[in-house]
Amino acid sequence: MSEEQRRAPLAAAMQAYAAGGARPFHTPGHKQGLGAHRLLQRLITPEGLKEDVSLMEELDDLNHPSGCILESETLAAELYGAETAYFMVNGTSGAVHVMLMATLSPGDEVLVPRNAHRSVFNALVLCGAVPVWLPTATDDRLGIALGVTTETVREALVAHPAVKAILVTYPNYYGIAFDLKSVAALAHAHGLTVLVDEAHGPHLRFSPELPPDALTCGADLVAQSTHKLLGSLTQTSILFRQGDRVPHEAVRRAAALLATTSPNYLLLASLDIARLQMAENGVALVERAMRLAEGVRAVVNDTPGLWCFGQEYMGRPGAEALDVTKVTVQTAWLGLSGAAAADILRRQYNLQCELADAYNVLFLLTIADTENEALRLAKALKDFAIRNRREAISRPTVAPLDIPPLCLAPREAFFASSEAVPLARAAGRIAAEEITFYPPGIPVICPGERISREILDGLSALKALGLRVTGPEDVTLRMIRVVC
C-alpha cells in the first residue's frame, strides 16, 4: 500500500476545521451541534456534529472539487485502478443516473437487460434514451434471473446497429456474475460505451477468487454501492471512470446536474474512510468474509431440506462465476417460501436476512462479520431446518413471455397523461406503468410498451400463482394504468 493510501484527506480536513474552533455563522442551522435536539445529540457523537460542516473553502466543493474531495476521490480511483472516481451521496441510483446522463442523448439506443434495477428505468426517463432490452434467462432450480450472454448481445447488435451503449448489472444481487469481459470486448468492438451497475461488487477487487471486477473487465463507467458491502454510511456510492470513451467533464457535468449543492460531509467522509479501510486491510477482510461464508454454505449443504449453491453451480450461460460471500439458502425443499422462512428466522432466531424471494433467503457475509456471527447463522439455520420440515413447495413454471414492442420511449411514457382501465380492457393500449412478478423479477410490461392479449393472459396466469407483484398502482391487477 502506498503511503498516500494511508491518508484520509477529506476526514482530515473536516477534523482540522472543527479543531480550529472558528465560531460558526454558517449552515447547518444546528451549528456543530450547539442547537441540536437531544435526540439528534444521541444519534451522532459530539465530534460528528462538530464535523457536520459545509461549504468552507478548505472543505472543497463536491461538484467542482479541487482540494480535499479531489484528493480523496483520486485515492479511491488509484485503489480501484480507475482514472477518476466520483463520490455520490444519492446511492448507486444516483451513480446510475449519472452514467446514462453523461453518455446518452434523447433518442439514443442503449442495450439494457430486462431485469435491470429500477434506477436504470428512472435514468432512461431522465436522459430520454431508448432501451433495447436484452432478454435474460431464469435458472429454474434457483428461480433467479441470470446475467446476459455474449450471444444475446451479439444478436441485439445485429438487430440494432445504431445502439450507442450497453448498461449491465454485474454481478446480480445473489452474487452471480456473467462473462463481462467478453461482453465488454464485443461491445467495444462495435463502438459502444460499456456502463456497469456493479452495486453489489465493491469488494470484488480484493480477492482473485471472486469474479473479476468490472473495471478489470474493461468497463468505461462503473457504479458501485460502497455502502452495501463495505464500510461507508448508507446512501454513499462511488462512480468510477477509465479510458477515453467517456470524457471526465461529461461525467462531472452530469453529476453536478443531479447532485445536491449541500452534500453531507459525514457521508462523504465515510467514503474516504471506507476507502482507507480497504487500502489498509481489504484483502484480509474480504478473505475472511469469503471463508466464513463458505463455512456457512458447507453447514447448510449438510442440512437436509436446505441447499445453498456455490461455485460448482456456475459455468452456465449468464452464470460464469460466483461471489461466494452471498449465501443464498433455498428453503423451498423444506416446504417454505423464502419469505416464510425469513419471517421465522427473524421472529424465532432474531436473524435478519438481506432479502427473501419465493424459494430463497439471501444472507450477506461482509467485512464486518467474525467467526461468532457466522457460527450463529449456521447453527440457527440447522436448527430451523430440523424444526420446520414440511412438504416441498411446488415450483410453478410459466413460459417466458415475449418482450412487448416499445411504442413510446420511457421518458415520453412518463410525461404522457394516463388513466387506469380494467385489466381485461387493456389489450392494444400502451402501458404507463411497470409490472414485475417475483420470481423471477423480470418486468412483464414496462411503460411505453404495447399491451397484447398474450401479455394480459400472462399477467392473469402469474397473478393466479400468487407471486409477489411490484410496480403497478393497483397490485391486485384489477386495473392497469395506460397512456391516454
Task: Write out the residues near ligand PLP by the rule CB under 6 A.
Answer: 91-93, 96, 117, 119, 169, 173, 197, 199, 225, 237
CB of residue 139 to ligand PLP, shortest distance in Å: 17
Which string of DSSP letters, residue by residue, matches 412-456?
HHHHS-EEEEEGGG-TTSBBSS-EEEETTTEEEE-TTBBPPHHHH
Which string of DSSP letters, residue by residue, matches 64-123?
S--SHHHHHHHHHHHHHT-SEEEEESSHHHHHHHHHHHHH--TT-EEEEETT--HHHHHH
Question: Which of 173, 265 has the CB closer to ligand PLP?
Answer: 173
CB of residue 200 to ligand PLP, shortest distance in Å: 6
- 48: three-class secondary structure by DSSP: helix
Rounded to whole angstroms, how far apart are CA atoms 102 and 424? Answer: 41
CB of residue 185 to ligand PLP, shortest distance in Å: 22
| Angle between helix 118-127 and helix 91-103 axes, rounded to 10 deg | 40
Question: Which of 93, 418 has the CB closer to ligand PLP?
Answer: 93
Specify whether the CB–CB gap between 426 and 483 falls below 8 A.
no
Question: Which of 17, 173 has the CB closer to ligand PLP?
Answer: 173
| Joined grid coordinates for residue 397 | 413454471
Question: Which of 91, 231 has the CB closer to ligand PLP?
Answer: 91
Question: Which of 119, 418 has the CB closer to ligand PLP?
Answer: 119
CB of residue 377 to ligand PLP, shortest distance in Å: 21
Question: Which of 169, 325 has the CB closer to ligand PLP?
Answer: 169
Q: Which residues pair with 420 in a beta bridge?
A: 481
- 248: three-class secondary structure by DSSP: helix
Give the count of alpha carbons within 13 A of 175, CB side only: 31
Question: Which of 326, 411 has the CB closer to ligand PLP?
Answer: 326
Question: Which of 93, 193 has the CB closer to ligand PLP?
Answer: 93
CB of residue 92 to ligand PLP, shortest distance in Å: 3
- 224: three-class secondary structure by DSSP: strand
- The identity of residue 91, as a single letter, is G
- 330: three-class secondary structure by DSSP: strand
CB of residue 464 to ligand PLP, shortest distance in Å: 28
CB atoms within 10 A of CB 457: 12
Question: Which of 305, 440 has the CB closer to ligand PLP?
Answer: 440
User: What is the per-residue burial (b if ≥16 Cβ within 10 Å, else e) of 85-104?
Assistant: bbbbbbbbbbbbbbbbbbbb
CB of residue 383 to ligand PLP, shortest distance in Å: 30
CB of residue 411 to ligand PLP, shortest distance in Å: 20
| Joined grid coordinates for residue 180 | 463481462
Taking CB atoms, the residue at the shortest distance from ligand PLP is 91
CB of residue 172 to ligand PLP, shortest distance in Å: 7
Q: Is 42 exposed, middle or buried (0-12, 13-18, 19+ CB in 10 A)?
A: exposed
Matching residue, cell 476521490:
73
Containing 384, the helix (H) or strand (E) segment is helix 371-387
Q: What are the backbone dihedrals phi and psi of residue 276, each rounded to the nearest 5 degrees, phi first?
A: -60, -45
CB of residue 468 to ligand PLP, shortest distance in Å: 16
CB of residue 95 to ligand PLP, shortest distance in Å: 8
Specify whether the CB–CB gap between 416 and 484 falls below 8 A.
yes
Question: Which of 267, 374 has the CB closer to ligand PLP?
Answer: 267
Question: Which of 117, 203 has the CB closer to ligand PLP?
Answer: 117
Question: Which of 92, 149 has the CB closer to ligand PLP?
Answer: 92
CB of residue 461 to ligand PLP, shortest distance in Å: 27
Q: Is 114 exposed, middle or buried (0-12, 13-18, 19+ CB in 10 A)?
A: buried
